[in-house]
């Protein structure tokens, strides 16, 4: 269940991964939906999720939205979240792809809460394959 509260005239949501209240923006709604979906429907342990952490990408500091780690602690899926009104374009996919050059997860995804696109990355051949659905968590 997604917990919400009013605080100083703004709505906040409790992030079960970061263990804190955060402003409920349109993008945050998508991120929280995905977090709860991954935990409740895909059986990914909360301890295997990371939210809005800084990484270095081409010498610049960037912040990814959501990363799921496999049982060995290696990045497994990197997700870029956008607000529902933001179109999921090639530019958005390239953004998560740039983050993944550092993280090297075998799967990436983009979501605006209305649409979700998943891709498998083969680092040996540099081939990117579109997937019909989210891969199964092992």
The CATH number given to whatever domain includes residue 82 is 3.90.1570
Tell me if 104 is assigned to some domain.
yes
Tell me if 136 is assigned to some domain.
no
Tell me if 138 is assigned to some domain.
no
* pLDDT at 66 (0 to 100): 97
* pLDDT at 138 (0 to 100): 77
The model carries a pTM of: 0.92
Residue range(s) defining the domain that contains residue 122 = 4-131
Tell me if 137 is assigned to some domain.
no
* pLDDT at 76 (0 to 100): 97
CA distances from 104 to 77, 110, 111 (A): 9, 16, 19
Question: Which parts of the chain sit beneath pLDDT 70?
Answer: none
Tell me if 53 is assigned to some domain.
yes
Tell me if 42 is assigned to some domain.
yes
The domain tally of the chain equals 1
């Amino acid at each position: 269940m997604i917990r919400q509260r009013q605080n100083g005239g703004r709505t906040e949501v409790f992030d079960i991964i970061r263990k804190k209240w955060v402003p409920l923006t349109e993008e945050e709604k998508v991120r929280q939906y995905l977090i709860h979906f991954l935990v409740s429907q895909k059986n990914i342990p909360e301890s295997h999720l990371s939210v809005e952490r800084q990484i270095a990408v081409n010498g610049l500091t960037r912040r990814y939205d959501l990363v799921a780690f496999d049982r060995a602690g290696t990045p497994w899926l990197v997700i870029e979240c956008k607000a529902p009104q933001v179109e999921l374009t090639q530019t958005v996919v390239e953004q998560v792809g740039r983050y993944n050059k550092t993280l090297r997860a075998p799967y990436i995804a983009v979501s605006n809460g209305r649409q979700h696109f998943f891709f498998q990355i083969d680092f040996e051949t540099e081939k990117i394959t579109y997937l019909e659905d989210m891969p199964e968590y092992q």
